[in-house]
Amino acid sequence: MFITTLLRLTISLVFLLSISACQQATPSYKTAIFSFGTLIQVEVSDVNESQAQKIFKAIEDDLKRMHVLWHPWQSGPMGRTNSLCGMAGTFSAPTSVIPLVIKAKQLAIQSEHLFNPAIGNLVKLWGFQQDSFDKNTPPADDKIQALLKANPRMTDITIKGVRFTCRNPAVRIDLGGIAKGYALEKIIDNLKQNFQVKNIMISAGGDLKAIGRHGERPWVIGIRDPLATDKQTAIATVKAKSGDSVFTSGSYERYYLANNKRIHHIIDPRSGYPAKGSLSVTVIHPDATTADAAATALFVAGPNQWIKLANKMGIKYVLLIDDKNNIHVTQAMLDRVEFIKEPKSLFVVWP
């Protein structure tokens, strides 16, 4: 049966389905690029091979450039902005970071600061600023409390043109919760404008944006099972509409173990500790940057507070898996997902 053959879908499910589509009719080209600490997979259709190669090169160049621009701790533009913030005062920020910082500030305010990219120092304290963190140990509580007391928020920065005024020296902007979404949005804008791309899917470690269709089929996305030991099993699938961005924040993405407890990378800015209550949150939204920030914020909000925040942020499609493996879903999302196995328990919220 079709459903059972889908039981052990990999996260690159979308590629498998589209391969069969491409064998039937539409030619498509694929590539994989390592960037932003993750595997970026691209599939484009309705182009010839030489156009596909140019498109892949443009994507790779954009990713390389963006990674350097937005790294919070290296000596690039964001790193410099962070150093200047640490001195508190007014300075001219590099133009390459300004639009993203403005967007990050708007989304932080909308999320009531549960998405709070100003907590870079806390992320670093927990050791998630590095690409490799499996030998980390949790920080001492007094260090966490000191950073909490400093209460860094995006509203501590006033932006007038290129002039930033940073009123809190504890602010360090870590764009890890939003950068992939913003990057996908910018890359796709560029491909539409300069390469007339109409049908493409770009996935950054499972977070993706899909444009157009793949031949006769829509793009099909797998929502990963956060408890699967092989990290590749999907619990459900969604058919993406053109322009959909599907983003998931999960405690399985980046973590280390301490006393057999999973110390993951999404920090609750209210406690200073990794957020409790959620295993993963998947959001669909037309704007990838909003989807990315919302998935992080709703993960922090957790099973008891996500509904209020989703309404406030205008997020209609949400699927949250809590730490007891219950699935919480909006009716709008439920109408779009196809579960691969019957969920243990399902809480549905209107709309």
Kindly indicate which of the ranges 16-24, 149-157, 262-270, 311-319 contains the residues binding ligand AMP, using the contact rule CB under 6 A: 262-270
Match 């957020």 to its residue by tokens.
Answer: 275
Please name the amino acid found at residue 5: T
Packing angle, helices 77-86 and 49-70, rounded to 10: 20
Asked if residue 55 binds ligand AMP (CB under 6 A), the reply is: no
User: Which region, judged by CB under 6 A, interacts with ligand AMP, from 48-56, 113-121, 234-242, 323-331?
Assistant: 113-121
- Within residues 60-99, the interface with ligand AMP by CB under 6 A covers none
Rounded to the nearest whole angstrom, what is the least distance from the CB of residue 165 to Mg ion in the complex?
27
Residues 229 to 258: which contact ligand AMP by CB under 6 A?
249, 253-254
Q: Which does 298 bind (CB under 5 to 8 A by kind): ligand AMP, Mg ion, none?
A: none
The one-letter code for the residue type at 245 is S
Residue 59 or 297 with smaller CB distance to ligand AMP: 297
164 binds, among ligand AMP, Mg ion, none (CB under 5 to 8 A by kind): none
Q: Which amino acid is present at 220?
A: V
The residue among 333, 296, 294 whose CA lies nearest residue 314 is 294
Query: Which of 222, 269, 272, 302 lies at the binding interface for ligand AMP (CB under 6 A)?
Result: 269
Whether the CB-CB separation of 254 and 128 falls below 8 Å is answered with yes
Q: Which two tokens stand for residue 164?
A: 């930033």
Within 8 A by CB and 6+ apart from 64, the residues are 35
Distance CA 256, CA 86 (A): 28
Q: 3-class DSSP state for residue 151?
A: coil
Considering the complex, state which of residue 145 and residue 196 has its C-beta at the smaller distance from ligand AMP. 145
Among 101, 123, 298, 313, binds ligand AMP (CB under 6 A): 123
- The CB-nearest residue to ligand AMP is 176
In the list ligand AMP, Mg ion, none, the entry touching 170 (Cβ below 5 to 8 angstroms by class) is none
Q: Which of ligand AMP, Mg ion, none is residue 253 near (CB under 5 to 8 Å by kind)?
A: ligand AMP
For ligand AMP, which residue of 265, 285, 328, 336 counts as binding (CB under 6 A)?
265
Partner from Mg ion, ligand AMP, none contacting 21, C-beta within 5 to 8 A by type: none
Classify 273 as helix, strand or coil. Answer: coil
Q: Applying CB under 5 A, does 292 fall inside the site for Mg ion?
A: yes
Reduced to 3 states (helix: H, G, I; strand: E, B; else coil), residue 96 is coil
Q: CA neighbours within 13 Å on the CB side: how many for 15?
A: 15
Q: Rounded to whole angstroms, how far apart are CA atoms 97 and 275?
A: 27
DSSP 131: S
Binding residue for ligand AMP (CB under 6 A) from 127, 177, 218, 302?
177
| Cα separation, 320 vs 245, whole angstroms | 16
User: Does 296 engage in binding with Mg ion (CB under 5 A)?
Assistant: yes
Q: Is 306 in the site for ligand AMP (CB under 6 A)?
A: no
DSSP conformational letter for 305: H
Whole-angstrom distance, CA of residue 324 vs CA of residue 344: 10
Q: How far is the CB of 253 from ligand AMP (least distance, A)?
A: 6
Cβ distance to ligand AMP smaller for residue 117 or 222: 117
CA 224 to chain CA centroid, nearest Å:
14
- Interface residues with ligand AMP (CB under 6 A) are 115-117, 119, 123, 128, 174, 176-177, 249, 253-254, 265-267, 269, 292, 295-296, 300
